[in-house]
Amino acid sequence: MNSIAIWFKTYAVTHGMNFLWAIVILVVGWLVVKKLRTLIAKVMRKAGMDETLVTFLNNMIYILLLVFVVVAALNQVGFATTSIVAILGASTLAVALSLQGSLANLAAGVIIIIMRPFKVGDSVEAAGTFGVVQRMTILTTQLLSPDGKVIYVPNSKLVGDNVINYSANELRRVDLVAGVGYEADLAKVKQVLEQILADEPLVLKDPAPTVAVSELADSSVNLVVRPWVKNADYWNAYFALTEAIKLRLDSEGINIPYPQRDLHLVGGWPEALGQKAAG
């Protein structure tokens, strides 16, 4: 016991100042890092960076600076910091290799936050799904589907796929198709469709809507009905116009055909069928 006490006394006398300096480095370094963290966050926010990216980068910088302070303190008391740095580097590499997918999502999240192809509240179609953006994190984007399901999409899929943002523009075109019979008066049909658009308050006058014959199909003559509406009014206008077209064409006596086939019976077949049924 005496030898141990003597060793501690000798070590304290020899390295006591180093320990004190290490404590000073830790305390002062921690205080400086906290101040830098606050300052960096203010600078990034003033630059207009997204809050998610500000939080992520600020935390990463904070951790790196703290690691630097700890390594400096350990070096002061005589630890072999070179080997510690090597171990940290090897550990970081191993973690990076095991988390390749997560790192890809992380990098994609940074790209999304910087490029801003969409924002919270936008209706988007991407990665084989459709929904309203509810929340964006550094790894995933949360969508709410039209039927109320919450969908978490990895950011790497969003960056690697086409993204259709239905909310990016103020105006949106409603694309409808109205099919009428071949016997219908096309001039009258176009007049009726144009009047339907004129009567709908959600349809904009500018840009002007389009009504035109688009296809001579098997059972009908198809006309495209393409009005412009405000983005927020899209679905209300879509449903209202679809109903109005059906009701108005019916009231005007204009036939809306459905697919049909002409059946030509080969002679003798009805008689044979009757005999088989009788037997």
pLDDT in tens, 137-172: 878 899 999 999 999 999 888 888 889 999 999 999
**Reported pTM:** 0.61
* Residue 92 or 64, more confident: 64
Out of 1.20.140.10, 3.30.70.100, 3.20.20.100, 3.30.310.40, select the CATH number for domain 171-251. Answer: 3.30.70.100
The full 3-state SS of 66-110, as one line of letters, equals: HHHHHHHHHHHCCCCHHHHHHHHHHHHHHHHHHCHHHHHHHHHHH
* Residue 80 or 77, more confident: 77
For domain 117-165, the CATH architecture is: Roll (2.30)
Q: How many degrees, rounded to 5, is the angle at CA 111 between CA 105 and CA 112? A: 85
Kindly report the CATH class assigned to 2-98. mainly alpha
Longest Cα–Cα distance in the chain: 123
The whole-number pLDDT of residue 242 equals: 96
CA-only gyration radius of the chain, Å:
36
* Residue 155 or 237, more confident: 237
Task: Give the pLDDT confidence of 242-273 residue by residue, as tens digits.
Answer: 999 999 999 999 998 877 666 666 655 555 55
* Residue 256 or 51, more confident: 256
Q: How many degrees, rounded to 5, is the angle at CA 254 between CA 251 and CA 255? A: 120
Could you tell me where the beta strands, DSSP code E, fall in 16-139?
123-126, 129-136
The whole-number pLDDT of residue 99 equals: 45
Sequence ranges of the domains in the chain: 2-98, 117-165, 171-251
CA 272 → CA 82, 93, 208, 264, distances in Å?
99, 82, 61, 16
Q: Residue 121 above 80 pLDDT?
A: yes
Angle of the 81-98 helix axis to the 51-76 helix axis, nearest 10: 150
Residue 150 β-bridge partners: 144
pLDDT mean over 180-186: 93
pLDDT mean over 53-73: 77
Q: At 274, is the pLDDT very low, low, confident or very high (cuts 50, 70, 90)?
A: low
